[in-house]
Structure 1
Amino acid sequence: MKAGRKAPQVVITGVGVVSPVGIGNERFWSNLVSGRSGISPLRSFSADSFPCKLAAEIHDFDPLEHVYEKKFLKVMSRDIQLGVSAASLAMKDAAIQSGQISPERLGVEFGSGHISFTPDELAEAARDFADPSEREGYTRWGEDGLGKIAPLWMLRQLPNMPACHVAIENDARGPNNTITSADSSMILALQESVRCIQRDSADVMIVGACSSNIHPVDIARISLYDNLSSQSDPESACRPFDRDRDGTIVGEGSAVFVVERYSHAIARGAEIYCEVLGVGSGCDGRGYENGSGGRGLTNAMNAAMKRAGISTSEVGHINAHGKSTRRDDYVEAKAYHNTFGVDAENIPVTALKSYFGNFEAGSGAVELAGSVLALKHGLLPATLNYKHPDPNCRLNVVREPERLKTSVAMSVNRTTMGQSAAAILRAV
C-alpha cells in the first residue's frame, strides 16, 4: 500500500466451524446460546492414568463428508483433518465456487501447533537400537532404521501442512503462511491476512487455525506444565474467572474464515458478517512468570484499538481468552483494568472456553467464530459455570445470553508465555 493511500476495508464473508459444541455454524451457534457444554468424560482412550478425566471431544466428525481430496486423508493427522474440513465449510458459507476467484489472488493463513504422534509409529524403527550400550547402533540408524519408517510419516506432523492442504483443496496459489504461536495463532493469522489484502497481494484469504489435544502424549505433556481441572463433573469443570476455578480442560477443534477485500465482496454480491477494524499484538516479555501483569495483552488491545481508530468506550463487549486457570485469568483481568480503567468492570465479558476447554490455536479460532456469529445475531453467549465472582478479577462476566448494545466487539487471546493478540470487529 502506497504512503498516503487509505487502507482498503477488509471483511469476513464466510465462517466454518468444527468443534465439540457443534459442526457447522447453525449447530455451533444454537448450542452456544442454549448453554450446551461440549465437555464430557474422555472417551477416545483410557483416562485412568491422567489426573484429569475430562475432555472436549468431537464425537460426530467424519472427514469424508468435508475433504475433497480424499486420497490425502492418509497423510492428514486429526488436527489437519479438522482444519481442512472447517475451511471447506467456510468456503461454502462464503458461496465461493471453484474457479470463481483467480488462484493467484486467493491465499491461505493458518494457525497451527505441535502435532503429536504415538510411540507405536516409530517402534519398529527404534527396536533395533534399544540397547544404549551399543553405541554403533546410532551410526546404523540411517542405514537400517529410516527404512522402517513410513516414507510419508513426517507429513502428518508438520505444522505447516494444514495451510498446504487447504491451499491444495481450494487451488489457492496466493500468499501462504503458517503461524505457530499457540493460543494467539488465530488472531495473528487474521492480522497477516489483513496485511496481505491491504498490500494488494490477494483479494481473498482463507484464514483459520486448528489443533487437537485429544491425544495421550499431549495430555501427559500439558499435565506437566499447565493446570488441568481436577473436577469430576463435566458440566462445571471449566469456569473462567470464577473464584473456584482450578484449571482448564483439553479439547480439539477448528474454525476458518473467508477474509475478503470489501470492494471485492460487494462486486460478487457476498453476504458480509463483519468488518475487521484492527488487529494488534504484543508480548509480556517475562514468559511464564507472568510478572509483567499482562503488559503484552494490554499492548495488543491498545494497538488493535489504535489501528481501528476507536476509543475504549466504543468497545461493546470482550470475547475473553478465559483459560480458567488461577494465574492466567488473573493476569488477563489485570490487563483489562490496565487498558479500560474503571470501565473494565462494566464491559460485558464472555469466555467461551467454558463450553469447550482450551486447545491452543484451534480454541482461539473457535472463540473468534463465536464473536463473528454474536455480531451477526446481535446476541452475546453466556459464560458457563460463573457462579462466584473472583474479587481479584472484578469483571462483568455475562451469566445469561445478552443482547448486544453496540456493533463493536473485541476478541483476545494470549499464550502461557505471554504472546498476546487482539482483534476489533464491527457488524456491517
Structure 2
Amino acid sequence: MAGCDGIRAVVTGVGVVSPIGIGKDRFWDSLMQNRSGIDYLQSIASDDLPSPFAAEVRDFDPATMLRDRKFVKVMSRDMQLGAASANLAMKDAAIKRGDIDPYRLGVVYGAGRMTTHPAELLAGVQASTDESNHFSMTRWGEGGMGRVAPLWLLRQLPNMPACHISIDHNAAGPNNTITCRDASALLALGEAVRVIEAGRADAMIVGACSSNIHPVDIAKFHKFEGLSKRNDDPSRVCRPFDFERDGAVVGEGAATFVVESYEHARRRGADIYAEVLGIGAGCDGKGYANESAGLGLVRAIESTVRRAQIRPDELGHINAQGKSTQADDIVESRAYNRSLGDCVLKVPVTAMKSFIGHFDAGAGAVELAGTLLSLKNGEVPATLNYEIPDPRCRLNVVQEGPQKLKSRTALSVNRTAMGQSAAAVLRAV
C-alpha cells in the first residue's frame, strides 16, 4: 500500500517487554521453544481471585530501562512497560536523539484503562474519616485531599505513555493516543501509516502497553470476558481454538515499533522488517446477528486485503486474536471463513495468547511483534495447547511448531469483546 505520492510505510524497529522475554531476541526464542509465560501469580495474592494464574513480566527493573529513574514514581506499571519497549525499539532501529528532525518524528500509542491501587488514596481517605468512621467531605477539603500525591493523576491517564515516549525521544511531530483495547496497536499503526503517507512525518513511534495484574482488572476480566477455571498446570491453561478451552488468562506487556517511509529508511541504511501493505477496521454493531457473525472483523479483513491488493491465498500465516473463550474463538473462526473463503483452511494460524495471556491494548502490540519477527525469520510459532480441534473453528491452527513459512505475507488481527476489530497485512521486504 502506498500513499497518494507513492510513499510506502515500513517497520524498522521492534521493542518487546513481554511475559516470555524482554527484548526481541528473548521473546522470539521463547516462541520458537514453545516456552509459555503463564504461571502462578507472584506479584499479588491470588487467594480471593477467580484465577490463580497470570502471565507476568518477570525480571523487569524500570530504573535500568528508562531514560531517567526519577520518572518511575510518576509512571504506572503500564507506562513503564511501554516506555521501556519504546527505548528498545529506537535502539533496534538505530535512531538516536537528534538523528531525525523532531517535528518529523511523531508518536501514536495505544493504552487501556490504568487502574489505581487503593493504597495510593488510603492516606487521604483516612484523614477524611470522622469519629463515626464515615467519610466527611469537610475533612476531605480541609486536609484529606492534601494527603494524595499531587502527581497521582498522571499515573492513571492513558495518554501519558505517548507523552513519556515523545519526551524521551524528542518526538515533537504528530502525537495521539488510541484507547480501543485489543485493537489499539493495529489502529495506532494505521494512523501512523496515514501520517507518513500524507508526508507529515518521516518516522513514527507506534505501539501499545497495558498491565492487568491487578485484583480489580482480574475480577473485571472474569466478570465480562471469562477467565479459565482450570487449576492444573498453568502452562496448559490458555487453549485458543481447542475444543476444551474454557477462558482467558490475564497478563501484561508492551511492544513498540518504528515506522518510517521506505525512502527515509533506505537513505539511512536501516534494516527493514516488513512493509505495511494494508490496514482495515470495523465494528460488529448492535444485535446478536452481527455479534455472532463477527461482521466487524469480516469488514476489517476484507478492507485490509483489498487495500493490500493481494489474494487470500497469498497469505503465509494469520496471527489471530485467539482469546481462548468458547464464544470469541467461534466468532473469530467464522469471520475468517467468511472473509477469506475456503483458502483459509490452508493458511497457518497462530494464537500467541497461549504464550502471553490476554492484556488489553498491550497484547495486540506484542502479537504484532510476533508477526514481524515471523516474517523476518521465515517461521510461524505453534499455538500452545491446541490438542483437540474444535469442529466449530474450521482453521488450520499450527499445532506443532515452529513451522516454516511458504509466503512472507501475514495477516495480523485483533478484536475486542465489544466487537471493535482491526486487521493489518504486512509483507517482508
**Fold shared, TM-score > 0.5 on shorter chain:** yes
Q: Look up the match of 1:155.
A: 154
Identity of aligned residues (%): 58
Task: Summarize deviations over 1:171-230 as a string: whole Å, max 9, x none.
Answer: 100011000000000000000000111111110000010000111221122222121011
Evaluate the alpha carbon distance shift between residue 287 and residue 382 of structure 1 in structure 2; reply closer, same or farther with a 3 A threshold: farther
Cα shift at 1:120: 1.7
Q: Look up the match of 2:123.
A: 124
CA distance in 1, matches of 2:109, 2:186: 10
Task: Summarize deviations over 1:110-169 as a string: whole Å, max 9, x none.
Answer: 000111111121122223555799999336644433212110000011000000000011
What amino acid maps onto 1:395 in structure 2? L
SS of equivalent to 2:120: helix
2:382 is the counterpart of 1:406 = no
Evaluate the alpha carbon distance shift between residue 189 and residue 129 of structure 1 in structure 2; reply closer, same or farther with a 3 A threshold: same
Q: Look up the match of 1:180.
A: 179
CA distance in 2, matches of 1:359, 1:5: 36
CA distance in 2, matches of 1:16, 1:244: 34
Give the TM-score, by structure 1 length. 0.96
Q: Look up the match of 2:194.
A: 195
List aligned pairs for 1:198-237, cutoff 5 A. 198-232=197-231, 233-237=233-237
Q: Look up the match of 1:335.
A: 335
Q: Look up the match of 1:395.
A: 395
Give the TM-score, by structure 2 length. 0.96
2:59 is the counterpart of 1:60 = yes
Greater CA deviation, 224-233 or 379-388? 224-233
8 A Cα contact 2:109 2:188, kept in partner: yes
8 A Cα contact 1:241 1:329, kept in partner: yes
Q: Look up the match of 1:106.
A: 105
2:87 is the counterpart of 1:79 = no
SS of equivalent to 1:40: strand
Greater CA deviation, 399-408 or 235-244? 399-408
Q: Look up the match of 1:379.
A: 379
Cα shift at 1:299: 0.4
Evaluate the alpha carbon distance shift between residue 85 and residue 191 of structure 1 in structure 2; reply closer, same or farther with a 3 A threshold: same
Evaluate the alpha carbon distance shift between residue 166 and residue 288 of structure 1 in structure 2; reply closer, same or farther with a 3 A threshold: farther
What amino acid maps onto 2:205 in structure 1? I
CA distance in 2, matches of 1:421, 1:32: 23
Gaps of 5+ in 1: none
Task: Summarize deviations over 1:242-278 as a string: whole Å, max 9, x none.
Answer: 0000001000000000000000000000000100001
What amino acid maps onto 2:306 in structure 1? K
Cα shift at 1:365: 0.4
CA distance in 2, matches of 1:342, 1:309: 19
What amino acid maps onto 2:312 in structure 1? T
CA distance in 2, matches of 1:88, 1:281: 28
What amino acid maps onto 2:421 in structure 1? S
Q: Look up the match of 2:170.
A: 171
SS of equivalent to 1:92: helix
Cα shift at 1:290: 6.2
CA distance in 1, matches of 2:158, 2:142: 28
8 A Cα contact 2:313 2:347, kept in partner: no
Greater CA deviation, 259-268 or 126-135? 126-135
What amino acid maps onto 2:148 in structure 1? I
Greater CA deviation, 361-370 or 122-131? 122-131
Cα shift at 1:312: 1.6
Gaps of 5+ in 2: none
CA distance in 1, matches of 2:132, 2:306: 61
Evaluate the alpha carbon distance shift between residue 266 and residue 125 of structure 1 in structure 2; reply closer, same or farther with a 3 A threshold: same
8 A Cα contact 1:84 1:166, kept in partner: yes
2:311 is the counterpart of 1:311 = yes
CA distance in 2, matches of 1:75, 1:389: 46
CA distance in 2, matches of 1:131, 1:282: 51
Evaluate the alpha carbon distance shift between residue 279 and residue 138 of structure 1 in structure 2; reply closer, same or farther with a 3 A threshold: same
8 A Cα contact 1:287 1:418, kept in partner: no
SS of equivalent to 1:327: helix
Q: Look up the match of 1:259.
A: 259
8 A Cα contact 2:125 2:135, kept in partner: no
List aligned pairs for 1:20-31, cutoff 5 A. 20-31=19-30
